[in-house]
Amino acid sequence: MSVSPSGDAGDVDQAPVGRDASPGTLEPAGAAGYGPETLASLTADAAEIVARYPDPRSGLLPMLHLVQSVDGYVSRAGILFCAEQLGITAAEVSAVATFYTQYKRKPNGKYTVGVCTNTLCAVMGGDEIFDELSEHLGVGHDETTDDGAITLERVECNAACDYAPVMMVNWEFFDNQTPQTATEVTDRLRAGEDVAPTRGADTVCSFKQMSRVLAGFPDDRAHEGVGAGEPTLAGLRIARERGATHPGGAAGQDTTPGEDAR
């Protein structure tokens, strides 16, 4: 059930260049291979990105995230679009796009499922979680299931070592995983169910929606989810029990330990 290296089998969250075109019609490509409507909205968003920086070139990373929010990967059209917006060559854009692991060179699944297999998570069980998921999904690292739902990855340390073993789904935290919890998450994602991360928004969004946020366009979900998980608060809990405080501080402020978020 693994797919070809191009990863283009039956994907629901991806479309080839010229995605505005309905089947059977060959819409004339816009300036960079996009249909006119897509091109217009991309151009408006790109202008907003560029306006955040003293130098327009600084907008390239967010602009590549933006391209992924439309195409589900950094397409040829997307590279040409960025080059045109910034007045640089396609080669210069490609050089940047190929340097960073979050930019995909082939259509990505609706969900990127990344298992941390850096040393600490690997030793605590991450290696077995990855192997189990790989077997369960029938794909290896950087491959996509043939329903287009999941791209499986080994990921490097994601700054959540106190929650090891960690899995990321579209870069939301799934803490303290086991092979069973990880396969359940992927089963539910493939069944189209809403899945909640341990620390993050109430539900995991799609790869394209995530990419739009990373381009700097908020989705108004910042206030969803918790402020901290238990390990984040481990030291604070003990200090509170003891009434410990810094020099001149007032212990036991009007916080309510145990009551997070909501």
Partner 1 sequence: MTDLLPVLTDTWDAPRSWRLSTYEKHGGYAGLKKALRMAPSDLVQTVKDSGLRGRGGAGFPAGMKWGFLPPDDGGPRYLVVNADESEPGTCKDIPLMMASPQHLIEGAIITSYAIGCNHAFIYVRGEVLHVYRRLLEAVAEARRVGYLGTNILGSGFDLEITVHAGAGAYICGEETALLDSLEGLRGQPRLKPPFPAVEGLYARPTVVNNVETVASVPGIVDRGSDWFTAMGTEKSTGHGLFSLSGHVTRPGQYEAPLGITLRELLDEAGGMRGGKALKFWTPGGSSTPLFTAEHLDTPLDYESVGAAGSMLGTRALQLFDETVCVVRAVSRWTDFYAHESCGKCTPCREGTYWLKQILHRIEGGEGQDQDIDVLLDLCDNILGRAFCALGDGATSPITSSIQYFRDEYQAHIDGRGCPFDPSASALFPYTPRTPMPSAAAASGQLVGAGGGGH
**Segment 16-75, which members bind partner 1 (CB under 8 A)?**
52-55, 57-62, 64-65
> Would you say how long the chain is, in residues?
262
Task: Rule CB under 8 A: say whether 111 interacts with partner 1.
Answer: no
Q: Which is nearer to partner 1, 26 or 254 (CB)?
A: 254
Q: Which is nearer to partner 1, 78 or 125 (CB)?
A: 125
DSSP 199: B
Task: Rule CB under 8 A: say whether 138 interacts with partner 1.
Answer: no
Rounded CA gap, 3 and 91, in Å? 29
CB 204 within 8 A of CB 111: yes
Which of 205, 134, 209, 198 lies closest to 167 in space, CA to CA? Answer: 198
Residues 6+ apart with CB under 8 A from 221: 201, 202, 205
Rounded CA gap, 165 and 13, in Å? 28
Q: Which is nearer to partner 1, 37 or 53 (CB)?
A: 53
| H or E, element range at 152 | strand 150-155
Q: Which is nearer to partner 1, 18 or 179 (CB)?
A: 179
Q: Which region among 3-11, 31-39, 187-195, 211-219 touches partner 1 (by CB under 8 A)?
A: 211-219
Q: How many residues bind partner 1 (CB under 8 A)?
A: 95
Provide Rg for the chain, Cα atoms.
21
Task: Rule CB under 8 A: say whether 77 interacts with partner 1.
Answer: no
CB 161 within 8 A of CB 124: no
Of 9, 142, 179, 188, which lies in the binding site for partner 1, with binding defined by CB under 8 A? 179
The CB-of-40 to partner 1 minimum distance in angstroms stands at 23
Cis peptide bond upstream of 165, omega within 30: yes
Site for partner 1 in 238-257 (CB under 8 A): 238-240, 242, 244-249, 253-257
Task: Rule CB under 8 A: say whether 230 interacts with partner 1.
Answer: yes
Task: Rule CB under 8 A: say whether 113 interacts with partner 1.
Answer: no
Task: Rule CB under 8 A: say whether 157 interacts with partner 1.
Answer: yes
Rounded CA gap, 19 and 113, in Å? 25
Q: Which region among 7-15, 23-31, 37-45, 235-243 touches partner 1 (by CB under 8 A)?
A: 235-243
Q: Which region among 21-29, 35-43, 137-145, 176-184 touches partner 1 (by CB under 8 A)?
A: 176-184
Q: Which residue has the tokens 């794909």?
A: 139
User: Which structure tokens are listed for 163?
Assistant: 């929650």
Task: Rule CB under 8 A: say whether 155 interacts with partner 1.
Answer: yes
